[in-house]
Chain A
Amino acid sequence: MGKIFRFYKDVDTDQIIASQYLLFPTFDEMKVHTFESLDPEFASKVKPGDFVVADENFGCGSSREQAPSVLKALGVKAVIAKSFARIFYRNSINIGLPVIICKELYDEVKAGDEMELNMEEGTITTGGKTFSCTKLPENLQKILDEGGLLASLDKED
């Protein structure tokens, strides 16, 4: 089980991590500024295993791979949204952050609710209800399971 942090639609990458932090040498230094403009306390409240749940078009805007990277560095287990922006989606898979499309969940939960994700089954359980979510194609799930594109390529070698 993990706690839900809930955000609205069209959350852009500038809000996930602003440009003035992009060159910080490590993700540990960068991650404390995650979602700073929307929820300055996010980074101190979120715990490994928690979830980010959002409306449509999560991660729109810039191509910065730092956006999924800081979420992963904070231990966010998965982002579940009604839909994702294209570049954010690709970047997330490549760095090993699960991005799950679920049309129903957002409107049924509030911030602070607990939920459980079963990626193999493609289900989310919260408040006694179970929602089905999009399962990733096998090749993308494999990249995720192995911890991202780099780790996955290493295993192929």
Chain B
Amino acid sequence: MGHTMIEKIIAHNVGREVNPGDIVTVDVDYVMLDDIMMPFIVSKFKEMGFSKVWDTEKVVIICDHLVPASQVDDTRAYHISCDFAAEQGIKNLHRSDGICHQLMTEAGYVKPGHVVFGTDSHTTTYGCVGAFSSGIGYTEMASILGTGQLWIRVPSTIKVNITGKLPSNVMSKDVILKVIGDLTAAGATYKALEFTGDTVENMSVSSRMTMTNMAIEAGAKCGLFAPDEKTAEYCDIELDDFQKNLKGDDDAVYEKVINYRAEDFVPVMAVPSNVDHCVPISEIGDVKVDQVFLGSCTNGRLEDLMAAADILKGKKIAPFVRFIVTPASRKVYTEALKNGTLDILLDAGADITHPSCGLCCGRTGGILTDGEVVVATNNRNFLGRMGTNKVNIYLASPKSAAMSALTGKISAAV
């Protein structure tokens, strides 16, 4: 009998065949520790009696939620991060290079077939290159730091198969919002999502990242794309035999297979205040927009910024809209600067910020107040996430966000 992608990754890791429901202990290839959890991780690590991390090469510490600091105590997390790295001899320390989930693949750590855990729920992102990655709490992270291992239950898999050509105003963000809307916020809890079909094969790795990033919003343990030539190029590797074979077998057992025709997708938004509350933009009606946020580990990459620039070239955003653009990483920032994308966005009226988590988690620049509306390209519209609990957050693709900034009301690109 064949196996799904997640079963193959875990089997490769533990050295024997596995099936959904099996409890196994995996050897961890990388861990990602973000600044906001570092004070807790370090304290638990010491409380557990560990003195040295199991492998300094496999630990990546990334300051992204709290740089530059916005509250008086924030730099404490920065110092704890840097001090722990120095004390342990950890070289993989990013003081201010961008968002953790962007850097884990962009900076060359995660490769197809790896098993990775991070202290952030959007750790599911690295499935974009065919890695099994998932979020955990800081107690378990401290335990991995000491032992290099974690117990997991092998999840069953839901296959999401998409074929055909997407309409030009639809991005992978619209696709994943629709999938989450159909699955619901708990529809994939404890399960793996496997994305297949020629539509996703034709997507860039960046577009795939948007989808795996949001797999958690349906409750999934991970989201996965089979590695291909694009993955190999992005990761700067040649796929080995294991990686080449890393796709669901034809006779694998799936819990469910959901089929979509790409032509049926339309621009959508997740309307306040649930990610699975997905509505076609054409049905949202007349909603005035106070602010637009283009950024985050979901949609802060070069292709996202360029998609927005394409719409805004030579134009000005609505005069009352605050338009905040936060590149996902220093590399994205530099590339967008060099190819003229930032010029276009600046001329259109955008505020370009430093690369970081920024507004997404409501911790830095751009928080909103009662009654305001923000169209945002990130992954969560939870109550109170970007300011007060009376802020209305609409999640959208970069194209829809740019169009909304231009018109000053909720709009889809044409």
Contact = CB atoms under 8 A, between A and B. Distances in A.
Interface in A80-120: 83, 85-87, 90-91, 94-95
Nearest to B383: A37
Nearest to A15: B383
Interface residues of B, number: 43
B135 A63 contact: yes
A14 B274 CA distance: 12
A12 B382 contact: yes
A146 interface: no
A18 B384 contact: yes
Given A86-B221, A153-B48, A91 B384 contact: no
B215 to A, nearest CB: 12
B95 to A, nearest CB: 18
A8 B118 CA distance: 28
Contacts of A149: 139-140, 143
Nearest to B73: A23
Interface string B73-86: 11011000000000
A122 interface: no
B376 to A, nearest CB: 14
A38 B219 CA distance: 22
Nearest to B388: A37
Interface string B165-189: 0000000000000000000011001
Interface in B376-390: 380, 382-385, 389
Contact of A87 (B47, B74, B135): B135
Given A14-B383, A14-B384, A85-B189, A20 B136 contact: no
Contacts of A23: 36, 39, 66, 71, 73-74, 76-77
A56 B184 CA distance: 11
Interface in B354-382: 361-363, 380, 382
Contacts of A12: 380, 382-383
Contacts of A22: 36
Contacts of A86: 189-190, 219, 221
Contacts of B189: 57, 83, 85-86
B157 interface: no
Interface string A11-51: 01011001110110100000000001110000000000000
B109 interface: no
A75 interface: no
B170 to A, nearest CB: 26
A60 B186 contact: yes
B185 A57 contact: yes
B195 interface: no
B186 A14 contact: no
A23 B361 CA distance: 14
Interface of A: 9-10, 12, 14-15, 18-20, 22-23, 25, 36-38, 56-57, 60-66, 83, 85-87, 90-91, 94-95, 148-150, 153
12 contacts: A9-B186, A10-B185, A18-B385, A23-B36, A23-B76, A36-B384, A37-B384, A64-B137, A65-B139, A86-B221, A94-B139, A148-B139
